[in-house]
C-alpha cells in the first residue's frame, strides 16, 4: 500500500539525493514505452488534465486495519475488566488492568491518528495545465500548491517495500534544496513494475508536451469523484479494472478493506479548487478533447 507521504510527510529542506538524480524523469525527453492512464484521470480537456492522488487507490485499507486492531484491543480490555471485577476481585488485578490500559494508550492514539489521516478529503487532486504550464496540487491541509511544470524535478524512487513511485520536487532557487514534494498516482512493484509504470509518466508527459490528442483516445474511463463520492458500483468496476478480472475471489480479497473505505469516503470532504485556480483553467465550449465521468461507457 502506498502510504509514503501520508502517515509521515516527505522529507524536505534537504538536498537532492544521488537516487533522485540517477532516476530523474525529464519533461522534454520522450520514452519509448507503452503509455497507460491507470484509471487515474478525473477530467481531461484542451487546457488541463486532472488526476487523482497516489493515496486514492488504497484509501480505507488503513482505516479497516486500525478499526480491527482497536476492536481487538477493546475486547481484550473488556475481558480483562470482567475477570478483574467478577472473578479475581483483588487489588493486584486492578493494578494490572490499570497498567494494561496505560500500555494500550499509545496504540489507541496511533491508530486513531492514522484513521484521521484517511478521514480528511475524499482525494487530493492534481491539475496539470498545459497552457499556463502550471501544476496545481491539493494539499492534505486543504491549501493548494501552484508550481511551474518546467521547473519541477521529477524522479522515480523506491519507497516502502519494493514499491517505486514518481516524486515531484519543488526546488529552491539554488536548484538543489527540496522545498516541497508530492507524488504522482502510480506505483510500480519491483524492477518490472518500475519499468512498466514509466508508461504512466510518459502518459502525463505527452499530454503536457505534445497535447491532448496524443493521449485522449487511450483514456477508457474517468473517475466520477469530482463533485461526488464514488458509488459502490464504480468501486466494483474500478477494482476489476485494476486487477484485470471480474473474478469474485480476487475482488473479494481486495474488497476486504471496503468497510473502512466506505467510512473514509462517507465522512471525508470533497475537495474544491479555489476560484482563482478555476479562473486559470477555463474549459472551452464543445472542446473536442473534453472527457470526464459523464462520458464514461459504464
Does residue 266 share a domain with residue 128? yes
pLDDT band at 199 (very low <50, low <70, confident <90, very high): very high
Does residue 144 share a domain with residue 233? yes
Query: In this predicted model, what pLDDT tens digit does every residue of 88-99 receive, in sequence order?
Result: 778 888 888 898
Does residue 192 share a domain with residue 179? yes
Q: Where are the beta strands (DSSP E) in the chain?
A: 14-15, 24-25, 41-44, 48-51, 126-129, 134-138, 144-148, 153-158, 163-171, 177-189
pLDDT of residue 262: 86
Q: Which residue has the higher pLDDT, 147 or 298?
A: 147
Domain ranges, residue 77: 63-118
pLDDT of residue 275: 97
Does residue 142 share a domain with residue 236? yes
Query: In this predicted model, what pLDDT tens digit does every residue of 227-275 receive, in sequence order?
Result: 998 877 777 667 666 655 556 666 666 667 678 888 888 999 999 999 9
Q: Is residue 168 part of a domain?
A: yes
Query: In this predicted model, what pLDDT tens digit does every residue of 30-78 receive, in sequence order?
Result: 999 999 999 899 999 999 999 999 999 888 888 988 999 999 999 999 9
Does residue 165 share a domain with residue 21? yes
Q: Is residue 189 part of a domain?
A: yes
Alpha-carbon distance of 109 to 221, in angstroms, equals: 39
pLDDT of residue 91: 80
Does residue 204 share a domain with residue 267? yes
pLDDT of residue 283: 94
Q: Is residue 265 part of a domain?
A: yes
The mean per-residue pLDDT over the stretch 187-214 comes to 92
The mean per-residue pLDDT over the stretch 197-225 comes to 95
Residues facing 157 on adjacent strands: 165
Query: In this predicted model, what pLDDT tens digit does every residue of 126-176 receive, in sequence order?
Result: 999 999 999 999 999 999 999 999 999 999 999 887 889 999 999 999 999
Does residue 211 share a domain with residue 163? yes
Q: Is residue 3 part of a domain?
A: no
Residue 184, φ and ψ in degrees, nearest 5 = -85, 155
Amino acid at each position: 500500500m502506498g502510504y509514503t507521504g501520508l502517515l509521515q510527510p516527505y522529507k524536505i529542506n534537504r538536498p537532492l539525493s544521488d537516487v533522485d538524480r540517477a532516476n530523474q524523469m525529464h519533461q522534454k525527453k520522450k520514452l519509448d514505452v507503452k503509455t497507460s492512464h491507470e484509471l487515474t484521470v478525473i477530467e481531461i480537456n484542451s487546457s488541463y488534465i486532472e488526476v487523482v492522488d497516489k493515496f486514492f487507490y488504497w484509501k480505507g485499507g488503513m482505516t479497516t486495519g486500525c478499526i480491527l486492531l482497536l476492536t481487538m484491543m477493546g475486547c481484550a480490555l473488556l475481558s480483562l475488566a470482567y475477570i478483574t471485577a467478577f472473578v479475581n476481585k483483588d487489588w493486584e488485578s486492578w493494578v494490572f488492568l490499570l497498567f494494561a490500559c496505560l500500555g494500550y494508550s499509545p496504540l489507541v492514539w496511533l491508530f486513531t491518528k492514522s484513521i484521521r489521516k484517511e478521514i480528511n478529503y475524499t482525494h487530493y487532486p492534481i491539475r496539470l495545465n498545459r497552457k499556463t504550464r502550471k501544476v496545481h496540487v491539493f494539499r492534505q491541509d486543504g491549501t493548494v500548491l501552484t508550481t511551474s511544470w518546467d521547473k519541477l524535478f521529477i524522479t522515480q524512487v523506491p519507497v516502502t517495500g519494493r514499491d517505486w513511485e514518481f516524486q515531484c520536487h519543488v526546488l529552491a532557487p539554488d536548484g538543489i534544496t527540496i522545498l516541497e514534494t508530492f507524488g504522482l498516482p502510480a506505483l510500480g512493484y519491483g524492477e518490472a513494475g518500475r519499468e512498466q509504470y514509466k508508461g504512466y509518466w510518459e502518459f502525463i508527459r505527452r499530454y503536457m508536451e505534445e497535447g491532448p490528442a496524443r493521449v485522449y483516445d487511450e483514456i477508457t474511463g474517468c473517475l466520477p469523484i469530482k463533485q461526488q463520492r464514488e458509488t459502490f458500483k464504480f468501486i466494483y468496476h474500478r477494482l476489476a479494472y485494476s486487477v484485470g478480472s471480474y473474478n469474485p475471489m480476487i475482488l473479494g480479497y481486495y474488497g476486504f478493506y471496503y468497510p473502512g473505505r466506505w467510512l473514509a469516503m462517507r465522512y471525508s470532504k470533497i475537495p474544491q479548487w479555489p476560484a482563482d485556480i478555476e479562473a486559470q483553467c477555463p474549459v472551452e465550449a464543445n472542446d473536442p478533447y473534453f472527457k470526464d465521468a459523464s462520458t464514461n461507457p459504464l
